[in-house]
Amino acid sequence: MALAHLSIVPLGTGSTSLSPFVAACEKELQLHGEGLKYELTAMGTIIEGDLDRILTVIRRLHEVPFEAGAVRVSTSIRIDDRRDKKGSIDQKVQSVKEKL
Amino acid sequence: MALAHLSIVPLGTGSTSLSPFVAACEKELQLHGEGLKYELTAMGTIIEGDLDRILTVIRRLHEVPFEAGAVRVSTSIRIDDRRDKKGSIDQKVQSVKEKL
Amino acid sequence: MALAHLSIVPLGTGSTSLSPFVAACEKELQLHGEGLKYELTAMGTIIEGDLDRILTVIRRLHEVPFEAGAVRVSTSIRIDDRRDKKGSIDQKVQSVKEKL
Amino acid sequence: MALAHLSIVPLGTGSTSLSPFVAACEKELQLHGEGLKYELTAMGTIIEGDLDRILTVIRRLHEVPFEAGAVRVSTSIRIDDRRDKKGSIDQKVQSVKEKL
C-alpha cells in the first residue's frame, strides 16, 4: 500500500483554465481506478493503493490531456511508500490531528 | 491570491513517523497564518492567500523541524498563482466537480 | 521521447547522508537503463527516453532504498512529455542558452 | 547554505515553448543573484546559497512570466537544507560519484 500525489498539467493550450483537463482525468480514474482510493484536492489528486496499480493508472491518466488535444504535458508524481506500517489517506491525516 | 502546496520532511531523524513534525508545523501555521486559509491533506498542506504572506509563513514553518532537532530538512512548495481570475481552494475543487 | 526528473529519498534511516542511496540507484540505472540517457544533478537525476521505459526503470529504482534497509521511501517524479517536437536534455538547455 | 531546485512554468500561454520564459528568468537571476551559485538544467534551475537570499530571488523570478504576459504561473521549489554539514551543488554530485 502506497500513497501518491498526482498533478497533470497541459502546457501551451491557450487557456488558463485547467479544470476540463482535471475533470477528464478524474473520469478516467473513476473508470480504471478499481481497487484504488482517491481524493481530489485543489492542488492535485491523492491516490492510495497498490503501487503498481497506482503507476499503471497514472500512466493512463497522463495520456488524457493528449487525447484532449494538448501536445505537451507536465506530470508530477510524489510517492509515499511506507512498509513498516500500513499508511492510508485517512490514517495519515488522523495521526496529525490527534497531535494537535 | 495564490495557492500553495507545501510538504516539509525532516531527513535522517531515525524515525519513519513524520506526524509529530507535521503537527508541529500545523501548530505554527495556526499561530502565524492569520489571513491565510489552509487545509491539511495526506500528502501536504494547501495554503490559500496573499503570496507574500504564504512565503513568509512557509519560511517560518521550514524552521520547525530544525527546532525539533532535525539537521536536514527537505521542503517542497508548489505555487499556483492565477491573476486572470480569483482562484481558491474551494473554487478549484468545485470547478472540477461541476464537470464530472 | 520524454524527460523525467527523479528524486528518491529514504525517510527515517537515522543518517542525514543520502549519497549511498543515490549511488545505489545510479548503479541500478546503469544496469537497467539501456536506451535511456541520464544525468545526475545535485537535486536529482534527469532521464531522457521512451516514457514507458523511463517509468519501468523508475519503478525498479524505487525499490533500491528498500533493498538497502529503508522502510519508508519518498519518490518524486516530474515528467515533461512534449509531442509536437523532439525534446531532449541537450536541446532544452541549448534552447535557453541561445536566448541569453 | 541551502540548495533549491526551481521550476517556473507559465500556463495557458498558447505556446508549448517555454525557453523564452526560462531565459527571461535566467537573466533576472544573473542580475539579482549576487552571492548565489546557480546551474541551469533541462528540468529546472538549481540555486545554492543563503536560504533567505534564495527565497528572495525566487519571489522575484516568479514575477518574470507575468511581466512577459502570462496570467497564470506554476512555480515548483524544492529546498534541501542541511545544517550538520556544508552541502553544495559540487559536493553533492561529487559525493555520489565517489561511490560509483
Q: Is D34 exposed, middle or buried (0-12, 13-18, 19+ CB in 10 A)?
A: exposed
Instruction: State residue D41's pLDDT score.
Output: 98
DSSP D43: T
Choose from C96, C97, C100 for mutation: most chain D CBs within 10 A.
Answer: C96
Task: Give all chains having 3 or more CB-to-CB distances under 8 Å with chain A.
Answer: B, C, D
- With contacts defined as CB-CB under 8 Å, which chain D residues touch C42? 3, 39, 46, 48, 88-90, 92-93
Task: Give all chains having 3 or more CB-to-CB distances under 8 Å with chain C.
Answer: A, B, D
Say how far apart CA C41 and CA C60 lie, in whole Å: 20
Say how far apart CA D83 and CA B66 lie, in whole Å: 9
State mean pLDDT over A81-91.
Answer: 95
C-alpha distances out from residue A18 to B5, C55, D5, Å? 17, 25, 25
Residue whose grid cell is 488524457: A64
Kindly report the pTM of this predicted structure: 0.98
List the CATH number of the domain containing B78.
3.30.70.930
pLDDT tens for A23-82 read 999 999 999 999 999 999 999 999 999 999 999 999 999 999 999 999 999 999 999 999
Instruction: State residue D87's pLDDT score.
Output: 87
Q: Which residues contact D90 (CB under 8 A, 6 or more apart)?
A: C42
The vertex-D78 CA angle with D6 and A59, nearest 5°, equals 90
Mean pLDDT, 10 residues at a time, over chain B (100 residues)?
97 95 98 97 98 98 97 98 94 97
- With contacts defined as CB-CB under 8 Å, which chain A residues touch B54? none
* Res A87 pLDDT > 90: no
Task: Give all chains having 3 or more CB-to-CB distances under 8 Å with chain D.
Answer: A, B, C
- With contacts defined as CB-CB under 8 Å, which chain C residues touch A80? 72, 74
pLDDT tens, residue order, chain C (100 aa): 999 999 999 999 999 999 999 999 999 999 999 999 999 999 999 999 999 999 999 999 999 999 999 999 999 999 999 999 988 999 999 999 999 9
Nearest to C46 among D27, D42, D90 (CB): D42
Distance from CA of D38 to the nearest CA of C (A): 11
Domain count along chain C: 1
pLDDT tens, residue order, chain D (100 aa): 999 999 999 999 999 999 999 999 999 999 999 999 999 999 999 999 999 999 999 999 999 999 999 999 999 999 999 999 988 999 999 999 999 9
Across chain A, which distance is largest between two alpha carbons, in Å? 46
Three-class DSSP category at D32: helix
Chain centre distance of CA B4: 6
Nearest to A11 among D11, D71, D76 (CB): D11
- Residue D91, all three cell numbers: 559536493
- With contacts defined as CB-CB under 8 Å, which chain B residues touch A40? 93, 96-97
Cα atoms found within 13 Å of the Cα of residue D34, Cβ hemisphere only = 2
Q: Is C82 exposed, middle or buried (0-12, 13-18, 19+ CB in 10 A)?
A: buried
Are B72 and B10 in contact by the 8 Å Cβ rule? The answer is: yes
Across chain D, which distance is largest between two alpha carbons, in Å? 46
| Domain membership of residue B57 as a residue range | 2-97
DSSP D3: E
Please answer yes or no on whether B71 and D55 come within 8 Å at the CB atom: no
Q: Where are the beta strands (DSSP E) in B1-100?
A: 2-10, 37-41, 44-49, 72-82
Say how far apart CA C72 and CA C13 lie, in whole Å: 9
